[in-house]
Amino acid sequence: MDSQILDIRGMTCAACSARIEKVVKRLEGVESVSVNLATEKASITYRPEEIRLLTIREAIEKAGFQALTVDKPRYDEDRARKQKAIKTLWTKFIVAAAFTLPLFYIAMGPMIGLPLPFGIDMMQDALAYALIELFLTLPVIGVGYKFYTGGFKALIGRSPNMDSLIALGTTAAVLYSVYNTALIANGNHMAVESLYYESAGVIITLILLGKSLEAVSKGRTGEAIKKLMGLAPKTAIIVQGGVEKEIPIDEVLAGDMLAVKPGAKIPVDGTIISGHTAIDESMLTGESMPVDKSSGDAVYAATINTTGAIQFRAEKVGADTALARIIKLVEDAQGSKAPIAQMADIVAGYFVPIVCAIALLAGIAWYIGTGDIAFALTIFISVLVIACPCALGLATPTAIMVGTGKGAEHGILIKSGEALETAHKLDTIVFDKTGTITEGKPAVTDIIALGGQDQDELLRLAASAEASSEHPLGQAIAAHAREKGVELLKAESFSSITGRGVEAEIAGRAVIAGNLRLMAERSVSLSQNESIADKLAGEGKTPMYIAIDGVLAGIVAVADVVKPSSRAAIERLGKMGLEVIMITGDNQKTADAVAKQVGVNRVLAEVLPQDKSGEVKKLQEEGKRAAMVGDGINDAPALAKADIGIAIGSGTDVAMESADIVLMRSDLADVATTIQLSRRTMRTIKQNLFWAFGYNVVGIPFAAGLLYLFGGPLLNPMIAAAAMSLSSVSVLTNALRLKRFRA
């Protein structure tokens, strides 16, 4: 299965994106397709053994659109193209307005008693009057030619779009006016009252204005990507044979030795070889305080070296850097569709043909009822022009673009529109304890030797057994022994028992280090020493039993410090109406002690890593919409199982793969911020869809003359054009309000 992103050119409304999806889905071998009107991109998954990408592109182009393969990110080129398009639209609008303003004055001025220029008299010089209007209209039609080429092409292809509505409406107005101009030339001067040139001119001009404002607004929705792209340095200083040389960033290879001076940006990801400094990683994590770095520490592209000069080895370059992957995640999210968008897509697919039918039926009905062709034409044009699916197509993707971009600014990487939508429905947050609520860096607090065992020897044997363990608690014991200068012994045999502890043979002695369950499984008698462990657990410490040759020799207690921000973050979630649950492999008493410190009321303790996903499933069976928050490594199955998986940390490979949302800072406050952002984004989407649907529900009957039928006003086609243009702009403006979001 292959996936491909295509740049789509020529889309004007949601009917276009729906048409492309429909055409591509029909192709044998295409698994899925999602076309985003706001980003002008199509995401296609297909089976290459059944269909070639070229065939897919040809199908899109046959439908009337241009499809370009995105071989690599072309942000600068993309931005330049969009800026050029905006400039072209503004130029067209200015030219159209220059001819439309005198056209409008000539057509409407006499109705309110204004004098006509050049001494033209509407009735005495009817032909000159009509020809002047025609000549002023032609340049406007000329600058708006794409409405006609695109609109009629789509109509012939039986997939009418917004351009089709504009083309049909204005063509009808112009052709009817040309017909009346011919009547005037033949002596029927009364036909001067049935000219609609100004309607066509004003409609095209107003829609060009709307398109210009829309293009500017759409450009602003992608500012987050532009900011991220602007962070990357363009050059790097490579060190070869002791000589420093500045080279373009594209020429840096993995393994190169690079130098970074104070105040400069780190060019690529790598590991410091020499030097000491503090690095501002706020662009990556959102953390404002610089982080101390020295030999052996990782550095990331686009972070800022604040104090000392360093040399580091390049390890990840180009698209492999953390920044590039973040940009890819944000871009993918902005290009994805939320489930709520499906409703708008379905409506848009049927919308334009239905509008064409309504316009035709309304025009015929009014002509039959009144016998007035000019009046029926007004109705026909008004319905066509006011009904535009642009607002429907932009309602969801623009809000998702701004929402995901705003998340990235806060160090919150939301990987899809679906994740952004689902997050607002959550009612339960499940936190892993170690590394999430706590620092994840446990330290030894107590060493209790039993049965006459020497304390130093107990530590030596326990640490020697745990030295090969990957568990944080085992690593803490080994680290403590090294800090105290205890020489560790080599284990002759070693085995790790998941969720229980370790067994090893050291200097001919059988050492078991683990929890109560392991002691019971190995038939080690605790001899009334459980009370000591209970006391330690009650203090929030994790007791580990140490047995030597089948006899309990002591207890080593390890504590993991609670993060300073955990309690405030959990209280904030509670105030938002969310239930907070802590899940851990620790024993119940230790877990309860930690839960009490941070204000968690429900605890799931003694849960093995492989069982965490099962606990999440049980919560879902209770009817809860649960998010799992973990470090993205041993919590990967639970992150995948939850309604939303939230990986907290520095964006490891596993975290990015297994989670729906990645929090670049290890701060639980960002969980609440994520949910608040989701709620705000969904509220904006619902507002947009309400106004987009509501606008058409009210506008189409009004344009069709329903109110006029009962003595109300009649909608002028020019007002219909203004309303249609403003509907799209209002949806975009509402989405841009999300840029003011504050945590």
User: Catalytic residue numbers?
Assistant: 432
Residues 6+ apart with CB under 8 A from 160: 15, 151, 154, 352, 353, 356
Beta strands in 24-72 (DSSP E): 30-36, 41-46, 66-69
Closest CA to 42 of 10, 70, 9, 5: 5
Q: Containing H/E element for 615?
A: helix 612-621
Angle among Cα 628, 632, 638 to the nearest 5 degrees reads: 40
Q: Containing H/E element for 548?
A: strand 542-548
Angle among Cα 585, 590, 596 to the nearest 5 degrees reads: 115
Are 89 and 211 spatial neighbours (Cβ–Cβ below 8 Å)? yes
Concatenating the DSSP letter of every residue in 459-516 gives HHHHHHHHTT--SHHHHHHHHHHHHTTPPPPPEEEEEEETTTEEEEEETTEEEEEE-H
**Contacts within 8 Å (CB) and 24+ apart, 647-652:** 648/435, 648/436, 649/435, 650/284, 650/285, 651/284, 651/322, 651/325, 651/326, 651/413
In the beta sheet, which residues pair with residue 443? 559
Per DSSP, 445 falls in state E
Per DSSP, 189 falls in state G
**Alpha-carbon distances of 206 from 2, 96, 209, 627, rounded to whole Å:** 43, 9, 5, 47
- Token pair of 653, please? 């490979």
Give the integer Cα–Cα distance in Å for 692 and 351: 12
Give the integer Cα–Cα distance in Å for 626 and 413: 19
Q: How many CB atoms lie within 10 A of CB 256?
A: 20
